[in-house]
Structure 1
Amino acid sequence: MAAASFSFVHLLSPNPIATVRSSLTKPPTTSPIPFPQSKPKPGASLSSSPNTTVRAVATSGNKKQTKSPRNVPSSPAPIERAEALDLYEDMVLGRCFEDMCAQMYYRGKMFGFVHLYNGQEAVSSAFIRPLARSDSVVSTYRDHVHALSKGVPAREVMAELFGKSTGCCRGQGGSMHMFSAEHGLLGGFAFIGEGIPVAAGAAFSSKYRREVLGDESCRDVTLAFFGDGTCNNGQFFECLNMAALWKLPIVFVVENNLWAIGMSHLRATSDPEIWKKGPAFGMPGVHVDGMDVLKVREVAQEAIGRARRGEGPTLVECETYRFRGHSLADPDELRNPDEKAHYAARDPIKAFKKYILENNLATESELKAIEKKIDDVVEEAVEFADASPPPPRSQLLENVFADPKGFGIGPDGKYRCEDPKFTQGTAQV
């Protein structure tokens, strides 16, 4: 937790490397890392409210100028009751589903690595719920909640986690590889950064259909989700360059939860303000409080709107926090307990529930009814997944070999794995 002894402001000092080195030699502190946007940064232009959490850099010709993306009020724009309840229900579904995943994992119903999304629900709900069905989402290994927000039924996501044939990938994807062409979920990707080129390709496809094939009705947008650790990888920079060059209809959404497995974001990058990397490629860069669903919603609406109008990509850094370890196999002993408590007190679901009640958008009983509904949905998903059959053995080699007479299929046209001797001497399949 040595990284907790310095803030973003320190990294902007005249000699940041020396500052970092001196900070790392200090004994660990028990104070949590300050929420970076809680202080204005040198050279950053904020909106009129000192408490705003949104910044952007726009470009004008070849001259970059720092400015607010719009007049961001101290309070987010009003929200209609129906939209508020939809966001709340989606956030509760994500949290409840992930909590159930933890139970099922420890009961031996799931295998491999399982990465939960607890604490980051405001980002998924605010960005994905406004999308059209034809829009695309590219996720990471922390993809269950992205799938749910995009409309993949909870029972199909849970069945996939159980490795059952009724899962959205017929049990062959598992936790880190959710996919649903029907719902526009183009995959969860286990290796960081590998989904970004796929997202850029999907966005290019939308632009090509409209501008080359003449499909004027195609205004599809792609969202590319990834974490802070990914922003030091080559795919990130290459795809930002191409997206800006070709004005692709894509939004790059950085879920900066401050930790890349066990590496503090502050120790891993020369400039921890990721949003600044957008203007370097000629696109707006926005930094928003990812624990506030209404503020994320405002930024999402603008970024998605820009992409849909053909105005090009946006880089959005959502500063959030995961409440559990990197995966369910992670004992989570590296993060300071005070830091975890600091962010737990800013729980996005509790904060939004308070907002809904204070603004008379719903009653306590209505919200409890939503929570009960979600409990039933998740319980039913578990029952469905548990009762579903495993994939047939013949599925092992499907979609693996292009040649129908190749290794996986015998001369008689039957799958070789159907031969009882196929697995002789190996572990039971």
Structure 2
Amino acid sequence: MMFQNEPLSHRMRPKTIDEVVGQDEVIGPNTALYRMIKNGHVPSLLLYGPPGTGKTSLAFAIAGSTKKDFYALNATTAGKKEIESAIEEAKLTRNAIIFIDEIHLLNKTQQDFLLKSLEEGIFTLIGATTENPFHSVRGAILSRIGQIKQLRTLSKGSILKLLRRALKDESEGLGKLSIEVSDSLLEIIGGVTGDGRSALNLLNDIVWASDKNEEGIIQVSEETVKECIQNKGFNYDKKGDIFYNLLSGLQKSIRGSDVNAALHYLARLLEGSDLISICRRLLVIAYEDVGLANPSLCARILPAIQSVERLGLPEGRIPLSVITIELCLSPKSNTAYKSLDKAINDVKKGRTGEVPKHLQDAHYKGAKELGAGNDYLYPHDFPNSWVNQDYLPKELRDVVYYEPKEAGEERRLGQIYHKLNSLRGQ
């Protein structure tokens, strides 16, 4: 078998923009970028998206569709000397594309070094990053890049198209081999991730792991596919956008009471085996999104999380499933922390006032003479441990921060709150 050591994904990299699969919103025939490139103009670009969406492949395809020189660098390995060398080469023709993968990893000195030549139009820059460029790439670079394009996770249909192309391609793919693989198994392979690179390399692994029949035909079986897929999918950088998007998807699904969506995102996060981040987010969700509507559930979350941490995986998934579903189906309220945020906002604006004299600390000699603590009414000396007196500074006497919801347990708490306010004459 040829190309034994060269990844299938690398061999099948598109050579022109017409061979790019997926990303039609970015480089499809109806896009402005496609027309620019076809007409010979390549703007400086920043390609942003998850691993395996085709950022590097698109850069190579753009280069293959033009008559420009092409220099490919990776910020993880390229130092100032390599960048300087590429720029010096580009100066000779002023007709070059410099592609920098993982551009967000360039340090300030390296990024500054690019700026001058970029401003002078010595080369066209194409950068690729898995990080949100507005957070990770210096503003000076962004301001000089004409286009920022976000590449999306490939659809299953696009990945299947890549796999079928690889099976037929006789020069770079697997087309010279006699391979028998059913559509249903290709569907399984194509559905593992939205990562085209991983899917192609997975197909290659599966072909190598499959047996030949007497006629020399490689027969791909369901057992081989499942064995190769095991633990293959859902790898992500725990500092990257994908990870934070999954955590966000989990919280927003729980907030929206969608059990199935929450379980989906929880499953994807568990594949990353980052129990600490999952548990921390679930604890936040309990108090942020359930809050006063179900205080007893909030109190149960921490012991459940401690159980998860003690159990580890895979057993920890059991209490995680329980608390995730219960958080989804619980009544929701965010009034507690929203009320506090209103109070904090007032304090930041300087809207405070003196603590009323009768509430001031009286545990020191001379306090009485100063009036501190005088006339304080001790609630426990009164029926139901309640007495009407002022607690807020006089400047804030009529302020209202808390407005209870009619949700779950908060309905009962709200009734008490309104009754007490009516007794105070509010």
Q: Specify if TM > 0.5.
A: no
Larger helix percent: 2
Shorter-chain TM-score tier: under 0.3
Kindly indicate whether structure 1 or structure 2 has the higher relative contact order, using CA contacts under 8 Å at least 6 residues apart: 1
**Structure index of larger Rg:** 2
Q: TM-score, normalization: structure 2?
A: 0.22
